[in-house]
Structure 1
């Protein structure tokens, strides 16, 4: 399938046009005091013609057979392209956390670093984070390293997602 720039995409977003669409797959996660887990993951990037991408991610904890056990994390946000291949990303989580990320893109490779975060009084406090998104063998690879609740920055979740036909 040949890739085309989505109709109506703001010109500033052309370098990220490869992200636009719905991606689904599976991933794994772990963290101190959290037993390792597998999850189903869906990520959606879309646009409305303005100079930002809308972002939505949701996941479900799954068993060894891939059957859904329960809902897991959900997040929504906006991705803004700035000069010199800089990205500014805003993400809010269903767990009471909102974050600002800053990073770089180089073709189909995106690296983001947590710039600032806010945690609601009942939410965990995330003190550092690194996100990686990349196109690997036609799939969207995602990895998130996190420092939270007194832990040092370390691997937390990662997934590989296939583009879905519209």
Structure 2
């Protein structure tokens, strides 16, 4: 293609792109300044690691370990990433388990930050959940507003999550509905801050 061709793609002959130029941080001491609308969520920013217990009417109970990273890039939302792995009876890793990414953001009323939150959570198993929630002090309660599934995903129809910072630890409980069962306990864990 010649340089005079108006249909020439913009990337042709362009210089290489450098690495992503903006920082994301789970540590409030480094990186971008936390957006003021996130002040109420500040205690959650960090890297958390711990153990939990899971189950559901259609599966056997199980023990797991988990790492949750909650970070920001200076904009008015938090990035949430969770990865878990199953543990055997002697607390040794068995295999990777649940993985999830998402975004939490406060709801604004004009310029005023409310205690209401919106969260979008997605899994590699084909499930996307839109949550609405409310923050009360250091506690957050989410409930699904909508669940979208791929054709091959398990039938998950609703969910609820309760997060809290208790004595410096991140605790949560998660309920799920699906596969013919109403909202039932699914996961609960206690994680300690390891960075941030």
Same fold by TM-score greater than 0.5: yes
**Counterpart in 2 of 1:79?**
104
Matches within 5 A, 1:2-41: 8-41=33-66
Is contact 2:48–2:195 with CA below 8 Å preserved after alignment?
no
Give the whole-Å Cα distance in 1 for the aligned partners of 2:123 and 2:161. 15
Cα displacement string for residues 86-131 of structure 1 (whole angstroms, at most 9, x for unaligned residues) = 1000010111101100000011100000010111100012111110
**Counterpart in 2 of 1:105?**
135
Matches within 5 A, 1:1-166: 8-83=33-108, 84-166=114-196
> TM-score w.r.t. structure 2 length?
0.80
CA RMSD of aligned residues (A): 1.3
Q: Note the C-alpha offset of 1:137.
A: 1.7
Is contact 1:5–1:14 with CA below 8 Å preserved after alignment?
no
**Aligned residues between the structures:** 163
CA 1:14–1:5 in structure 2 vs 1: closer, same or farther (change >3 Å)?
A: farther
Specify which structure has the higher proportion of strand. 1
* Contiguous gaps of at least 5 residues in structure 2: 1-26, 109-113
Please tell me whether Structure 1 or Structure 2 has the larger radius of gyration of its CA atoms: 2
Instruction: Tell me the secondary structure at the aligned position of residue 182 of structure 2.
Output: coil
> TM-score w.r.t. structure 1 length?
0.94
Q: Note the C-alpha offset of 1:56.
A: 0.2
